[in-house]
């Protein structure tokens, strides 16, 4: 399906052959977030075993740690220096931390985008899922738009990393919401809405921040990194360990090495 949307402009953006456009920001953000919709539909239909999802979460933990290190925090440091990177990461981390506590107080013990949907109140579960996905999805997608500004090539490791990280999120949400009484159609529409918002945030970042300085760009990238880092440690790692136990170290290392390798293939960290 993605091939239908692929064009020379989008390919040029990732290969660094020409200036990126607003359509590149839309295309790549949609490409990385649509995996959540597909995975959620698959989870709703087949309801994969908990150990399978735990294994994928363990792999994803390594993917996210590498993604934060090389494509968000590392890129923010190169773009704007230590100060905006430091403050941005703190803002992103605290935003996720506070939101997670608010969801817990509202009755959602997990309060994040990997919610298992076991709550008897499907509306509460859906609200937690949407807000949790937007907390990490919006800055993720915005960082794609930022990365495409000023003719910069987009990081393949970022594209692959975000795409892979969304798969277990979709599987868990699809399975959980289906058990909460959501129809397959509602589940797909729910995540299509999240995908649309995240795609819009990438476009908006590209259009509004083209004239912004490196300080603002670096801070936004590090905000995304801080939120993802907090999510990884608070939710992805514990849930992955709960189902895979000691195997999390092996699966997580494999995930880390995949992104690490992709980020260095071109001889310049984060770019290819």
Residues 63, 261: contact at Cβ < 8 Å? no
Secondary structure letter of residue 151 according to DSSP: G
> Burial code of 85-104, b = ≥16 C-beta within 10 A, e = fewer?
bbbbbebbbebbeebbeebe
Beta-carbon contacts of residue 10 (< 8 Å; ≥ 6 apart): 23, 24, 27, 28
Instruction: Using DSSP, state whether 6 is helix, strand or coil.
Output: coil
Tokens describing residue 51:
């150990």
pLDDT in tens, 29-66: 999 999 999 999 999 999 888 889 899 999 999 999 99
- Other Cβ atoms less than 10 A from the Cβ of 17: the count is 12
| Res 115: pLDDT | 43
Interhelix angle 214-231/82-105, rounded to 10 degrees, is 40
| Res 269: pLDDT | 41
Distance CA 10, CA 171 (A): 28
Strands (E), the chain: none
- Mean model confidence pLDDT for the chain: 79
Identify any residues that bridge with 268 across adjacent strands, giving them in sequence order. Answer: 271
Identify any residues that bridge with 271 across adjacent strands, giving them in sequence order. Answer: 268
Instruction: Extract the residue ranges of the chain whose pLDDT is less than 50.
Output: 1-12, 15-18, 108-122, 151, 267-272
How far does CA 227 lie from the centroid of its chain?
Answer: 10
Tokens describing residue 218:
């670096």
- Cα end-to-end span (Å), the chain: 24
pLDDT in tens, 129-152: 566 677 677 777 877 887 776 545
Tokens describing residue 190:
């729910």
| Res 170: pLDDT | 87
Distance CA 31, CA 141 (A): 10
């Amino acid at each position: 399906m993605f091939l239908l949307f692929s064009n020379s402009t989008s390919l040029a953006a990732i290969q660094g052959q020409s200036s990126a456009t607003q359509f590149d920001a839309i295309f790549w953000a949609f490409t990385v977030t649509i995996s959540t919709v597909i995975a959620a539909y698959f989870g709703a239909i087949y309801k994969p075993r908990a150990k399978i999802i735990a294994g994928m979460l363990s792999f994803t933990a390594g993917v996210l740690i590498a993604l934060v290190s090389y494509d968000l925090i590392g890129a923010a440091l190169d773009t704007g220096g230590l100060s905006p990177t430091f403050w941005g990461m703190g803002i992103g981390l605290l935003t996720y931390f506070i939101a997670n506590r608010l969801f817990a107080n509202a009755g959602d013990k997990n309060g994040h985008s990997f919610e298992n949907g076991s709550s008897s109140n499907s509306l509460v579960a859906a609200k937690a899922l949407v807000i949790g996905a937007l907390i990490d999805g919006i800055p993720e997608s915005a960082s794609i738009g930022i990365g495409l500004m000023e003719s910069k090539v987009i990081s393949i490791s970022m594209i692959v990393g975000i795409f892979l990280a969304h798969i277990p999120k979709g599987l868990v949400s699809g399975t959980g919401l289906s058990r909460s009484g959501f129809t397959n159609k509602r589940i797909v529409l729910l995540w299509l809405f999240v995908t649309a918002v995240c795609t819009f945030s990438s476009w908006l970042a590209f259009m509004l921040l083209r004239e912004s300085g490196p300080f603002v760009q670096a801070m936004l990238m590090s905000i995304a990194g801080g939120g993802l880092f907090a999510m990884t440690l608070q939710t992805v790692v514990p849930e992955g360990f709960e189902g895979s136990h000691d195997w999390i170290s092996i699966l997580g290392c494999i995930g880390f090495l995949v992104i690490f390798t992709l980020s260095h293939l071109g001889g310049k960290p984060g770019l290819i």
